Structure formats: structure tokens, C-alpha cells
């Protein structure tokens, strides 16, 4: 009984057998990163609030409306991480990883928390795979990052996803574009809150999803049309490398990610089967983030992919992601002496790298065999006290139902051979 306690609103539990698909999606998304030499990092799920207010941006909905912020017993303002990049960059600075050979390539996976209105595909607690390549500004590195994200989706078998791509300029061309955009927005009918947001970061207004606002932005100037020569060359090189890597994309000049730190290459992955919450991941270059957090003025690029969202995309396409069976071998003991042998045999199988299980509690043969069927095992061994008296156990193929009497001393080898070939 739960005693009336339930998971908090906007969160959910991932339980077997569905959790096997969750793990399969998570591991498939991270495999390309490991193959590309990215190293795993673990950071706290909460940070000093300044890590996010300075890193993510004061004008974002994430900071102004969605963060879980609290004072700890020492009076320090802490925040559950709403995204993973800022905390990872804090670790990069604190531990002086920039003193090593560059770029520093890192990845992590973990929970993030945002106070949002719960709906399909949008939760208050979610899991992200996050990767970052820090310290080098190279269009080829941008292309590598984007292509690794694409590879993860391809490895899952997804086909109905789309890569949206643009450039958000840099310090050499943003100021002039900002002036153009601010002048345009002054003529637009905006509510007071949106007007205040426009003062802090006018680009954020382009991300407003309200139809009445979007209708007024049809003729707004676009950053991609006002790139400096160097930034344009950077963007052209990124697209050429993506072409060489066999990656296709859709130009998205109005793409504005929900965080303030993006510059130059900016991208998003969307899936046609998810309705309004179509984004399954995204990222970009953030050349000013390290400096904003008190670190050296070094560049970086990365992305985050939602494991939960990607799993929804997998389900939308009807894909059967590869999930390993719970166990390979199952031992059914009938009697006290048989139980001792079963515990020992299961331990030997596990030590040899074979997933194995047995029944616990007092179950008859019928109940025990049902447990063996549910386990996903391909083979079972049934051992009764009468079998032990005869020095044998019954090896059963759970698919063909074929049974073979095997000497007790040979049960381990017989199970190992049977499961390896299953």
C-alpha cells in the first residue's frame, strides 16, 4: 500500500519492463560519444543558483519561471539543475580542465528539473544526455558534435526526425543586429512582460510561441542575414563539413534556443510524431559561457538530448529497441537441499558473466515455472530432492520445452553452453 503517497506532479516512475527500453535508448544515445573519445563526467544535481542565473541567462523562462531554487541550512541559494551544460562548465573551470590538451571532450547523463505545466512530452523531472567539446573554435568540431547527435538517432532506427540549423552570430555582428531588432520591436504591440524581456535579450522575443506575437514578427530582421564575414565563413564551413559527413538539415533562420548562451552554430532536433512538444534535443556553440561563469574566455559547443522525449519518438515510429532479456538462465529448486544447490549454481553462473536467477520463498513447481517464463530466460534447470538422490537435474529449453537429464556436476557447464548458443 502507498499510504496515499504518490510521485510529485509532473514526474513519473520508470519501472520494469519499460525501464529496459529507457536504458536501451540512453545507452544507444551515448555510444557514439564514447566511440568519439568523449570522457564521462558526473556533476551535482544542484548548484549555486548563480551558476544558472549567470550561465543560462536572466531573460530566459528557465531562470525567471522554471527553476527549483531554495536556501539550504547555511543560507546559501541553491538550485536543482534545469539543464546540464552550465554545471559541467562550472566543473571545467573549477578543476582547470582548460590546462589540458584542447578540445576537452566531455559527456554526462542525468536528471534535470524545471517547474513547467505538465503535458505530454514535457515534465518537471526529465533525463538528458549532454555532451560538450570545450576550448576550440573550429567549424569541423561543430560538425562533429551535430553529426554525433544524428548518429545516436540513426542507431535507434529513427527516421522521422529533422535537424534544424542556423547561426546566431557572435560579438562581431550581434550588436549591430540587436540594434536592428530592437528598432523593429519598438513598433510591435507587446505586453509589458515581453517588452521587459526584449530589453534584456531581444532575440528571446523571436522564440515567443503565441500566434498573435508571431504574426507581428513576419518581417523581423533575421540574424542569419546580418552575419559578419568571419561568422558567415564559419557557418559555411560547418555546412560543408556536415555535407561531407552525409548529414542533411533544414535552414531555420528563426531558431532561437531557450537559453541565452548560444552563439554561432545553433541547432535543434525535432520529431514529427510528438505533436506540439516536437523537440527531442538541441544545442549549439556558446563562446561566452566560460567567461560569464568566471573562467577563461574559451569557446565551446555541445548539445543535450532528452532520453524521455527520444523514447516517445521511438514509440511513435513503432520501433522495437534492442533490450536484453532479464536473465539467461533460471534455476528451479524443489526442496531444502535443492535450494542450497540452486543458490550455489546461480552464483557460479553470475560470476561467469551469465545472467541467472532463482525463486525465493516457498513456491510449488507450477509457480516456479511461471517465474522462470516471466524472467525471459531461454533455459531452466529443475532440481528436486529426488533428482539429487539420483545425482541429476532436469535441463529444460523454455522455448521448445525439450528436457534433458544432466548430472549435477555438469549442470553449470550445460547451462553455460545452452545459454551462450541461445
DSSP assigned state of 193: H
Query: Is 210 annotated to bind ligand?
Result: no
Three-class secondary structure of residue 297 per DSSP = coil
Query: Is 261 annotated to bind ligand?
Result: yes
Beta carbons within 10 angstroms of residue 81's beta carbon: 25
Query: Is 84 annotated to bind ligand?
Result: yes
Query: Is 108 annotated to bind ligand?
Result: no
| Cβ(330)–Cβ(394) below 8 Å | no
Show the CA angle centred on residue 371, arms to residues 315 and 368, nearest 5°.
170
Measured CA to CA, the distance from residue 159 to residue 128 in angstroms comes to 21
Measured CA to CA, the distance from residue 268 to residue 9 in angstroms comes to 27
Measured CA to CA, the distance from residue 152 to residue 142 in angstroms comes to 16
DSSP assigned state of 98: G
Query: Is 293 annotated to bind ligand?
Result: no
CA atoms within 13 A on the CB side of 339: 10
Query: Is 132 annotated to bind ligand?
Result: yes
| Cβ(279)–Cβ(269) below 8 Å | yes
Alpha helices in 104-249 (DSSP H): 139-156, 174-185, 192-200, 203-206, 211-214, 229-244
Task: Please enumerate, by residue number, every residue annotated as part of a binding site for L-histidine.
Answer: 83-85, 114, 128, 132, 257, 261-262
Task: Please enumerate, by residue number, every residue annotated as part of a binding site.
Answer: 83-85, 114, 128, 132, 257, 261-262
Amino acid at each position: 500500500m502507498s499510504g496515499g503517497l504518490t510521485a510529485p506532479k509532473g514526474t513519473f516512475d520508470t519501472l520494469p519492463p519499460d525501464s529496459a527500453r529507457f536504458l536501451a535508448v540512453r545507452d544507444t544515445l551515448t555510444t557514439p560519444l564514447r566511440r568519439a573519445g568523449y570522457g564521462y563526467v558526473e556533476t551535482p544535481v544542484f548548484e549555486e543558483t548563480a551558476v544558472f542565473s549567470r550561465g543560462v541567462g536572466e531573460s530566459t523562462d528557465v531562470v525567471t519561471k522554471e527553476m527549483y531554487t531554495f536556501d539550504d541550512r547555511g543560507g546559501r541559494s541553491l538550485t536543482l539543475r534545469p539543464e546540464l551544460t552550465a554545471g559541467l562548465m562550472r566543473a571545467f573551470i573549477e578543476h582547470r580542465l582548460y590546462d589540458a590538451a584542447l578540445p576537452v571532450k566531455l559527456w554526462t547523463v542525468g536528471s534535470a528539473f524545471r517547474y513547467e505545466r505538465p503535458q505530454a512530452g514535457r515534465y518537471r523531472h526529465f533525463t538528458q544526455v549532454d555532451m560538450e567539446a570545450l576550448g576550440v573554435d573550429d567549424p569541423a568540431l561543430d560538425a562533429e558534435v551535430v553529426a554525433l547527435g544524428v548518429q545516436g538517432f540513426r542507431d535507434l532506427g529513427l527516421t522521422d526526425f529533422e535537424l534544424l540549423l542556423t547561426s546566431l552570430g557572435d560579438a562581431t555582428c550581434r550588436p549591430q543586429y540587436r540594434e536592428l531588432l530592437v528598432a523593429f520591436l519598438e513598433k510591435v504591440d507587446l505586453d509589458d512582460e515581453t517588452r521587459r524581456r526584449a530589453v534584456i535579450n531581444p532575440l528571446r522575443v523571436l522564440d515567443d510561441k503565441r500566434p498573435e506575437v508571431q504574426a507581428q514578427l513576419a518581417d523581423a530582421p533575421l540574424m542569419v542575414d546580418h552575419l559578419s564575414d568571419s561568422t558567415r565563413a564559419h557557418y559555411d564551413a560547418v555546412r560543408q563539413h556536415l555535407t561531407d559527413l552525409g548529414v542533411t538539415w533544414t535552414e531555420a533562420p528563426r531558431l532561437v534556443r531557450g537559453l541565452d548562451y548560444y552563439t554561432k552554430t545553433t541547432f535543434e532536433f525535432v520529431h514529427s510524431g510528438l505533436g506540439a512538444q516536437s523537440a527531442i534535443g538541441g544545442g549549439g556553440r556558446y563562446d561566452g559561457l566560460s567567461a560569464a561563469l568566471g573562467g577563461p574566455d574559451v569557446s565551446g559547443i555541445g548539445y543535450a538530448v532528452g532520453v524521455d522525449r527520444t523514447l516517445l519518438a521511438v514509440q511513435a515510429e513503432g520501433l522495437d529497441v534492442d533490450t536484453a532479456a532479464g536473465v539467461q538462465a533460471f534455476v528451479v529448486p524443489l526442496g531444502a537441499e535443492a535450494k542450497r544447490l540452486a543458490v550455489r549454481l546461480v552464483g557460479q553462473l553470475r560470476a561467469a558473466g551469465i545472467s541467472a536467477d532463482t525463486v525465493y520463498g516457498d513456491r510449488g513447481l507450477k509457480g516456479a515455472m511461471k517465474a522462470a517464463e516471466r524472467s525471459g530466460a531461454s533455459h531452466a534447470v529443475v532440481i528436486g530432492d529426488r533428482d539429487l538422490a539420483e545425482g541429476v537435474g532436469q535441463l529444460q529449453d523454455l522455448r521448445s520445452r525439450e528436457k534433458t537429464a544432466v548430472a549435477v556436476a555438469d549442470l553449470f557447464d550445460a547451462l553455460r553452453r545452452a545459454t551462450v548458443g541461445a
